[in-house]
């Protein structure tokens, strides 16, 4: 077991380069299975979730290789297996996204029920319902989901009950090799969905409506490999913006797309944080006291649920009371007890959290309950008085590339050490 040991009180300053988006790179890897030859995906973060997905692809028969530091080669030529096993899928929910590509290309997919962060129910019924509408037969049992198609999938109109990112991506990939036209209504609009669609377009797919809530896909018989660069990670960018604001620091983020974070930037400015946009860079600093704001998480372009926990750390330091409403996941407040142990004053009522500002955080041993909550506790440790130990950091390392090193480069006092968990 490893943990982060943080000595609080250091203001962050300097430059940090934002990595490629985890939530995009994972889907690009699954999409590469649909090509008939090699794909090159550039800017892939070296994180645990990527290595897990690479293992899934290798089990399915693809050849996966990092070349250079952040470029990944995927050769699906020898794809010969349709079973994504439990021991890999249980580590990461995104593994369910091999179902659409496998079903479209091989006519069959058998995927273990997915795992991932414990942040509440993330039902996959929308995935299965959409694939069924395209002609697949679905069976569930013994911890697995098996989908079969007789011949090619059939294009159809698929209205999603909720703009689910995963369902949109799975159905989008399946539709690219389906027969005829598929229309996905109420599709997710996240930048990562758009990145996937652009990659599929380079592979020969015909997709219209990218970036809108209606995707129109004309199926083709074959896709080829392609070269593509992953978009910057807007959640990592948000993490460092909030970390700078929390510590009263002054940092420059490089390799960012500011339009992906418009609402986050707006909320930070409302709180008194200075954010200057400069092409692919963002300059973030704070010299004034923080003001309370209310936040409601929503699918993109709303405020991202993945930054909700981090914002609660910042709001704990603000003057006044803030209300945080979680509208996406039903168990995303489970980390609040850990933050309260550090001196925050947060009261949860259903899917609302009252954050009473003006708190003085103090170091304590805490547990990362999931990926983003773990990052929030690290940021809390940066501003807390004394020493903070963040345990179970394997959650954090699933989604952040060299988080501790990047923070050290900005002046933080943080070390990764081995040791037994106290929890």
pLDDT at residue 116 greater than cutoff 60: no
Q: Compute the half-sphere exposure of residue 407: CA atoms within 13 Å on the CB side of its CA.
A: 32
Strands of 157-159's sheet in order across: 157-159, 181-185, 214-218, 206-208
Query: Looking at per-residue confidence, does 119 or 78 come out higher?
Result: 78
| pLDDT tens figures, 213-239 | 999 999 999 999 999 999 999 999 999
Quote the tokens at residue 75: 């050769």
Per annotation, catalytic residue among 16, 25, 117, 134: 117
* Region for residue 36 given its phi and psi (left: phi exceeds 0; alpha: psi -120 to 50; beta: otherwise): alpha
| pLDDT tens figures, 257-314 | 999 999 999 999 999 999 999 999 999 999 999 999 999 999 999 999 999 999 999 9
Specify the pairing of strand 352-356 against strand 345-349: antiparallel
Q: Is 306 marked within a binding site?
A: yes
| pLDDT tens figures, 192-217 | 999 999 999 999 999 999 999 999 99
Mean pLDDT computed over 158-181: 97
Query: Looking at per-residue confidence, does 57 or 96 come out higher?
Result: 57
pLDDT at residue 163 greater than cutoff 90: yes
Q: Is 336 marked within a binding site?
A: no
pLDDT at residue 119 greater than cutoff 60: no
Interaxial angle between packed helices 191-202 and 165-176, expressed in degrees from 0 to 180 and rounded to the nearest 10: 10
DSSP states of 152-214 as a string?
A: S-B--EEE-SS--HHHHHHHHHHHHTSBSEEEEET----HHHHHHHHHHHHTT-EEE-TTSSE
Query: Looking at per-residue confidence, does 321 or 330 come out higher?
Result: 321
The kind and range of the H/E element at 236 are: helix 234-247
**pLDDT at position 141, please?**
86
Q: Is 23 marked within a binding site?
A: yes
Query: In whole angstroms, what is the distance from residue 347 CA to residue 130 CA?
Result: 39
Q: Where are the domains of the chain?
A: 2-19+233-418, 22-229
Mean pLDDT computed over 18-25: 97
Mean pLDDT computed over 102-110: 96
Burial class (CB within 10 angstroms; exposed 0-12, middle 13-18, buried 19+) of 115? middle
Specify the pairing of strand 281-285 against strand 250-254: antiparallel
Confidence of residue 185 (pLDDT cuts 50, 70, 90): very high
> Among all chains, which residue has been given the structure tokens 């209205």?
159
Extended beta strands in 294-381, E state: 295-296, 321-325, 345-349, 352-356, 365-367
Distances (CA, A) of 121 to 55, 332, 423: 25, 10, 24
Residue 176 annotated as catalytic: no
| pLDDT tens figures, 381-419 | 999 999 999 999 999 999 999 999 999 999 999 999 986
Contacts of 350 (CB under 8 A, 6+ apart): none
pLDDT at residue 330 greater than cutoff 90: no
**pLDDT at position 222, please?**
97
Distances (CA, A) of 403 to 154, 190, 283: 44, 24, 19
**pLDDT at position 124, please?**
86
Confidence of residue 115 (pLDDT cuts 50, 70, 90): low
Q: Compute the half-sphere exposure of residue 81: CA atoms within 13 Å on the CB side of its CA.
A: 13
Query: In whole angstroms, what is the distance from residue 134 CA to residue 153 CA?
Result: 5
| Cβ proximity of 185 and 227 under 8 Å | no
Domains 2-19+233-418 and 22-229 in one fold: yes
**pLDDT at position 10, please?**
97
**pLDDT at position 117, please?**
46
CATH code matching the domain that covers 2-19+233-418, chosen among 3.65.10.10, 3.30.70.1450, 3.90.180.10, 3.40.50.970: 3.65.10.10
How many residues are present in the chain?
Answer: 423
**pLDDT at position 62, please?**
98
Mean pLDDT computed over 1-27: 97
Lowest-pLDDT choice from 82-91, 143-152, 156-165: 82-91
Query: Looking at per-residue confidence, does 234 or 120 come out higher?
Result: 234
- Fold of domain 22-229: UDP-n-acetylglucosamine1-carboxyvinyl-transferase; Chain (3.65.10)
Q: How many CB atoms lie within 10 A of CB 288?
A: 11
Confidence of residue 316 (pLDDT cuts 50, 70, 90): very high
The whole-chain average pLDDT of the chain stands at: 94
pLDDT at residue 60 greater than cutoff 70: yes
**pLDDT at position 113, please?**
79
**pLDDT at position 359, please?**
97
Lowest-pLDDT choice from 94-103, 214-223, 245-254, 348-357: 94-103
């Amino acid at each position: 077991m490893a943990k982060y040991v943080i000595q609080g009180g250091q203001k962050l300053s300097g430059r940090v380069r934002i990595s490629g988006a985890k939530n995009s790179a994972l889907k690009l890897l699954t999409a590469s299975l649909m090509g008939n030859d090699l794909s090159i995906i550039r800017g892939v973060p070296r994180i645990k979730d990527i290595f897990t997905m690479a293992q899934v692809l290798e089990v399915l028969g693809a050849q996966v290789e990092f070349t250079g530091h952040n470029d990944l080669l995927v050769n699906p030529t020898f794809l010969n297996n349709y079973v994504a096993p439990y021991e890999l899928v249980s580590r990461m929910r995104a593994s369910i996204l091999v179902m659409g590509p496998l079903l479209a290309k091989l006519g069959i997919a058998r995927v273990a029920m997915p795992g991932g962060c414990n942040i509440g129910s993330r039902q996959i019924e929308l995935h299965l319902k959409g694939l069924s509408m395209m002609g697949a037969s679905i069976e569930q049992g013994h911890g697995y989901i098996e989908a079969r198609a007789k011949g090619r999938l059939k294009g159809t109109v698929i209205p999603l009950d909720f703009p689910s990112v995963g369902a949109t991506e799975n159905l989008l990939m399946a539709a690219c090799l389906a027969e005829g036209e598929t229309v996905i209504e109420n599709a997710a609009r996240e930048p990562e969905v758009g990145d996937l669609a652009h990659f599929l377009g380079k592979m020969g797919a015909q997709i219209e409506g990218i970036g809108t809530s209606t995707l129109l896909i004309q199926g083709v018989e074959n896709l080829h490999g392609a070269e593509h660069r992953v978009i910057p990670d807007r959640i990592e960018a948000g993490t460092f913006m909030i970390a700078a604001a929390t510590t009263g620091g002054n940092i420059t983020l490089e390799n960012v797309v500011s339009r992906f974070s418009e609402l986050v930037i707006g909320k930070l400015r409302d709180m008194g944080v200075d954010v200057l946009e400069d092409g692919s860079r963002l300059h973030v600093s704070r010299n004034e006291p923080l003001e309370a704001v209310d936040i409601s998480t929503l699918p993109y372009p709303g405020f991202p649920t993945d930054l909700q926990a981090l914002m609660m750390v910042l709001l704990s330091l603000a003057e006044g009371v803030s209300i945080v409403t979680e509208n996406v996941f039903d168990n995303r407040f489970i980390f609040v007890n850990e933050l309260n142990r550090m001196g925050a004053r947060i009261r949860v009522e259903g899917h609302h959290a009252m954050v009473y500002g003006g708190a003085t955080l103090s170091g304590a041993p805490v547990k990362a309950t999931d990926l983003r909550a773990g990052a929030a506790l690290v940021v809390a440790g940066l501003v807390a008085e004394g020493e903070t130990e963040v345990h179970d950091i394997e959650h954090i390392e699933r989604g952040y590339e060299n988080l501790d090193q990047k923070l050290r480069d900005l002046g933080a006092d943080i070390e990764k050490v081995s040791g037994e968990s106290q929890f």
